[in-house]
Amino acid sequence: MANKEILLVVDVFSNEKAIEKEVVFQAMESALEMATTKRYANPIKARVEIDRKTGDYKTYRQWDVVAPNSEINGDVEFPGTQILIDVAKFDNPNAEVGDVVEEEIESVDFGRIAAQTAKQVIIHKIREAERKKIVDAYQSRVGELITGVVKRIEKGSVYLDLGGHVEAYIAKEEMIPREAVRVGDRIRGYLKDVRSEPRGPQLFVSRTAPELLIALFRLEVPEVSEGMISLMGAARDPGSRAKIAVKSNDPRLDPVGACVGMRGSRVQSVSNELAGERVDIILWNPNEAQYVINAMSPAEIQSIVVDEDRHSMDLAVSTDNLSQAIGRGGQNVRLATLLTGWELNVIDASKAEANSEAEAMKIKDMFVQELDVDDDIAMTLVEVGFNTIEEIAYVPVSEMLEIEGFDEELVNELRSRAKDVLLISAIAAEEKIETNEPAQDLLEMEGMDEDLAYELASRGIITMDDLAEQSIDDLLSVPEMNEDRAAKLIMKAREPWFSEEKGE
């Protein structure tokens, strides 16, 4: 049965495509199965089994064992591919529903099967195997630097030839803007992802990822690969400017100097690979404020105000240095923000000082009014860092006694007055809660319960109209409230508005 011809085809495809013979055998079996089913007018199921040593093959027709279909008088729905359980049991008493029964039939002649069909099946199987082989080979290399030759350019996207019939794809948005790339150029990229897909590219490469900058420095600076220098992070404005943070693991080594290289040779090599992108090398610091100061280089920072809750910092710089700190189009502060992970706001130092003084005066006036003290004592409290009545009421006595000019009697009096102010405020708030009762329309509104109605009333939301004027964000501070319920309650409260509009 043309067994030698089958073995020859398997050998040729296996050797030319570097594919396992088993894959080609499976493709041949699929081709023979397709040729077998085409001999029948009605659809059938077939299985072909090729002997891997001799090339001989046998063909089997298959039926699925099914239970009688009551809707068609106890018969089968697809006679060509199904057989009743009772019929199957004649040949095999152990047959069960869901089994497959087979019967050997005459095999098609390999020499007369549709050559084009066989070829297409074989090529498809081989292509699948080749693509799987590529995915398996590169899956472990995600996150690495790869080098390839530009094979073709399509609408700004680039296909790289990595050798061995392997292609990588760089999307247009992953290319450095305005970078001149021609077919035949050798370029490097960062392997972002490897995906097994039936068609199209499988290896996805980036020229804009910050990780590419890190990988290039790892390649150019031996101290990094040796573990003497750690690369702590990078931020890029591709093709224009970048910042990379470095840290020395050896106190004798200057990490910035090592990355710059002799006469700037190392950083220049990286810059050339990135289409002339200017790279600032930043010294990493465990103190986040100092790290931000370093990241804002070359701008000089005069003062920093840190807001831990908002994870932001206000950076005060001199008027002359303001444009340099912000950078062209906000580039410098934007890169520093990406590098450090902090939201950075650059402000004029003179304006910052004026704002600080205004805030200090506001707090001082509040202390004068609430604590009934003179301007000097209130200003002293502000200057040593007190911002709220709560701080004065509960900061340890020992800390307040360290303030120049404060004795124990004064401290105790200030703390007593602060606690009285807090107590009066708490009582007033409680009275407000008790006196604010929800209106009947709010209590009876669909979706409302009594506890929620009283909670809303304590917040000044007394009627359905009051609720209708709220936003979802306004209600999210209410205990056990979520966006979905808040939206439903507000829309229910607004229903009378819509009905009035329709009446008009």
- φ, ψ for residue 294 (rounded to 5)? -65, -40
How far is the C-alpha of 184 from the C-alpha of 74, rounded, in Å?
69
pLDDT of 119 over the 50 cut:
yes
| Lowest model confidence (mean pLDDT) among 6-10, 260-264, 300-304 | 6-10
Indicate the pLDDT class of residue 324, thresholds 50, 70 and 90. Answer: confident
| Nearest by Cα to 247 from 273, 228, 260 | 228
pLDDT digit string, tens, across residues 16-30: 767 778 877 888 888
pLDDT tens-digit map of 240-254: 999 999 999 999 999
Query: How large a percentage of the chain has pLDDT more than 70?
Result: 92
Does residue 14 have a pLDDT over 60?
A: yes
DSSP symbols for 119-186: HHHHHHHHHHHHHHHHHHHHGGGTTSEEEEEEEEEETTEEEEEEETTEEEEE-GGGSPTT----TT-E
Give the pLDDT band (50/70/90) at residue 430.
low
Please report the pLDDT score of residue 157 as a whole number: 92
SS3 content of the chain, % helix, strand, coil (to 5): 50, 20, 30
- Stronger pLDDT, 255 or 433, i.e. the higher one: 255
Higher pLDDT, 433 or 155: 155
The predicted pLDDT at position 43 comes to 86
Number of Cβ within 10 Å of residue 108's Cβ equals 23
Q: What are the tokens at 421?
A: 């102010």
Strands (E), 197-355: 203-206, 229-237, 241-248, 278-283, 303-307, 312-317, 343-348
Residue 36 tokens, joined: 């077998």
Coil, helix or strand at residue 80: coil
80 vs 70, more confident: 80
Given pLDDT bands bounded at 50, 70 and 90, which one contains residue 70?
Answer: low
Confidence label for 114 from pLDDT (cuts 50, 70 and 90): very low
Average pLDDT, the chain: 86
* C-beta neighbour count of 334 within 10 angstroms: 16
Using alpha carbons only, give the angle 130, 135, 140 rounded to the nearest 5 degrees. Answer: 145
DSSP bridge partners of 62: 45, 102
Q: Tell me, yes or no, if the pTM score tops 0.95.
A: no
Highest mean pLDDT among 55-59, 97-101, 270-274, 462-466: 270-274
Residues with Cβ < 8 Å from 47, sequence gap 6 or more? 29, 33, 59, 60, 62, 102
Lowest mean pLDDT among 30-34, 191-195, 440-444: 30-34
Rounded to an integer, what distance in angstroms lies between the CA atom of residue 95 and that of residue 153? 59
Residue tagged 């200090």 (tokens):
360
Minimum mean pLDDT among 1-10, 303-312, 346-355, 488-497: which range? 1-10
pLDDT band for 397, please (50, 70, 90 cuts). Answer: confident
Q: What angle do CA 453, 455, 458 make, to 5 degrees?
A: 110
218 vs 383: which has the higher pLDDT: 218
User: Is the preceding peptide bond at 298 cis, omega within 30 degrees of 0?
Assistant: yes
Above pLDDT 90, what percent of the chain? 29
Kindly tell me if the per-residue pLDDT of 233 is higher than 70: yes
pLDDT in tens, 133-184: 888 888 889 989 999 999 999 988 999 999 878 889 999 999 999 888 999 9
- Residue 111, pLDDT > 70, answer no
Q: How far is CA 97 from CA 67, 77, 86, 295, 309, in A?
A: 6, 14, 10, 71, 65
Of 500 and 304, which is predicted with more confidence?
304
Asked if 315 contacts 292 with a C-beta cutoff of 8 angstroms, the reply is: yes
pLDDT at 222: 94
Closest CA to 59 of 4, 103, 110, 3: 103
Q: Is 117 exposed, middle or buried (0-12, 13-18, 19+ CB in 10 A)?
A: middle
130: confidence class by pLDDT, cuts 50, 70, 90: confident
Q: Is the predicted pLDDT of residue 471 greater than 80, yes or no?
A: yes
Please give the pLDDT value at position 112.
54
Give the domains, in start order, of the chain with CATH numbers.
3-125 (3.30.1480.10), 142-208 (2.40.50.140), 285-370 (3.30.300.20), 436-503 (1.10.150.20)
Whole-number pLDDT of residue 209 = 94
pLDDT average, residue stretch 89-103: 86
| String of DSSP letters for 441-477 | HHHTSTT--HHHHHHHHHTT--SHHHHHT--HHHHTT
